[in-house]
Amino acid sequence: RCQLPAAPTARPTPCPYDRGVERPTSTEERVQWLMDRAEIAECLVGYAGCIDRRHWAGLQDSYTEDGVMQHGEVSVPREAVPDLSECILAGCSSSHHLVGDPSIDVDGDQARTHSHYIATHISEGTAVKRQGGGWYDCELRRTERGWKFTRVKSTTAWRTGEPLQLH
């Protein structure tokens, strides 16, 4: 039979992802904080959707004019986002990017996110060309047209299948 330890009397060690983000206190501030987080989460979902639908104009529009896409060690300005995306997905007939577990920190008109992704790239037919997982670290700015990415940094933690040829 298992014997469970006694309940701790001291306060537990905080989670390493608990960055001590201050939460708003007034109702108006709380509603704005929740709306900002929901809009930013939609930016992440929309980003993945644009990639999977090959909607390069929409992907490019998700960035500010000075925005940067960074995939591993390769960084490109907003204008080159479609080209880098095409390069990443060369030889793929379809892809599926699942983005989840976003951590979202809003500070006025600036925000940072950290979210995990799993991506599957399919060759012609139904053969899996490669799969990978990692995270997106993003910086966003509130604009007149809503939240836009100033930087999206994709870090791969693991990959199977064919390697990427980005150079």
Q: Shortest CA distance to 112 belongs to which of 10, 19, 30? A: 19
Q: Which residues contact 167 (CB under 8 A, 6 or more apart)?
A: 74
| Residues 129/91, Cβ–Cβ less than 8 Å | yes
Tokens standing for residue 37 = 């987080």
| Full-model pTM | 0.84
Cα gap 142→147, rounded to integer Å: 4
How far apart are alpha carbons 86 and 80 in whole angstroms? 10
Note the pLDDT tens digit of each residue in 26-68: 899 999 999 999 999 999 999 999 999 999 999 999 999 999 9
Three-state DSSP at 135 gives strand
Q: For residue range 72-99, what is the model confidence (pLDDT) as tens digits?
A: 999 999 999 999 999 999 999 999 999 9
